[in-house]
A and B are shown apart, each in its own frame.
Chain A
C-alpha cells in the first residue's frame, strides 16, 4: 500500500498564479484533511472531507478550494497565489472521524513545499 500520496513535492509559484495540489489515498479512508505548516508553527487545518461529495472549511480556508469526487482523491486548489500561502502542505486521512481514538489516527502524506514569489 502506498498510503497517502501527494504531488508535487516542491513547487514555486508567482503571485497571482493558480495551481492544484493532488492527494490520493489507497486505504479506503472516508475522512481526508488538508493542513498547512509554517516554520515553527503547528499544523493548521484548511479543509476537510467526511466522504465523497462532502467538504467543509477548517481553521484557515481563505484562498483555497477543495473537491472530493471520489473516496481516494482530495485535491486542494490555490487560486491567485499570494506570498502568505508559502508553506508546507500536508494531506492526511483517517478511517473515521468519530469513535475511539484509533479511528481518528491521521496518516499523513509526505508533504508539498510551496513557495510563492
Chain B
C-alpha cells in the first residue's frame, strides 16, 4: 500500500520567513515527486517536481529529495501572505506513473502578515 505522510498543520509562519514543509513516503519504488499548491475551493496547481536526490530550486521554492530516507521537502523563502494554502505532496509509483500520482493529505500553511 502506497502511503504519503504529511503534517496536516496548520503551520504558521511569519511573513518574510522560510516555510518548511515535509513529506515521507512508503513506496521505495517511487520515482518522481511533486509539490502541488491548493487554495481553498480551488484545484491543485503544480509548484515543482523532483526526481533526483538533492535540491532543486525554482524562484523562492526549493524541493529537497532523499530517497534513502524516503523523505521529500519543500522550502518557501521570503514567505508571502499569498503563499497561504494547502500544500500537497505526491509521487509516482514504481510503475512510473501510468496509474497516476499518490497524494498526501496536505499541509495547511498560514503566512502571518
Contact = CB atoms under 8 A, between A and B. Distances in A.
Contact of A108 (B31, B44, B51, B99): B44
Interface in A92-107: 92, 94, 96-107
**Of B34, B49, B103, which is in contact with the most chain A CB atoms at under 10 Å from its CB?**
B103
Nearest to A96: B97
Contact of A45 (B43, B99, B104): B99
Given A31-B98, A104-B32, 18 more contacts: A45-B102, A48-B100, A58-B100, A90-B44, A97-B98, A98-B96, A98-B97, A100-B32, A100-B51, A101-B33, A104-B92, A104-B97, A105-B46, A105-B49, A106-B46, A106-B101, A109-B43, A110-B43
Interface in B38-81: 42-46, 49-51
A75 B33 CA distance: 27
Nearest to A46: B100
A40 B49 contact: no
Contact of B34 (A33, A90, A105, A110): A105
- Top 3 A-B residue pairs of the complex, sorted by shortest distance between their CB atoms: A97-B98, A101-B32, A104-B97
A100 B102 CA distance: 16
Interface string A18-61: 00000000000001010100001111110010100000101000
Contact-size category for B: 20 to 34
A56 B44 contact: no
Contacts of A111: 42-43
Residue among B4, B33, B45, B102 with most chain A CB within 10 A: B102
Given A42-B103, A42-B105, A101 B92 contact: yes
Interface of B: 4, 8, 31-34, 42-46, 49-51, 88, 90, 92, 95-106
Contacts of A104: 32, 34, 49, 92, 96-97, 101
Contacts of B101: 43, 104, 106
Q: Which of A42, A92, A97, A103 has the most CB of B within 10 A?
A: A42
Contacts of A42: 4, 88, 103-106
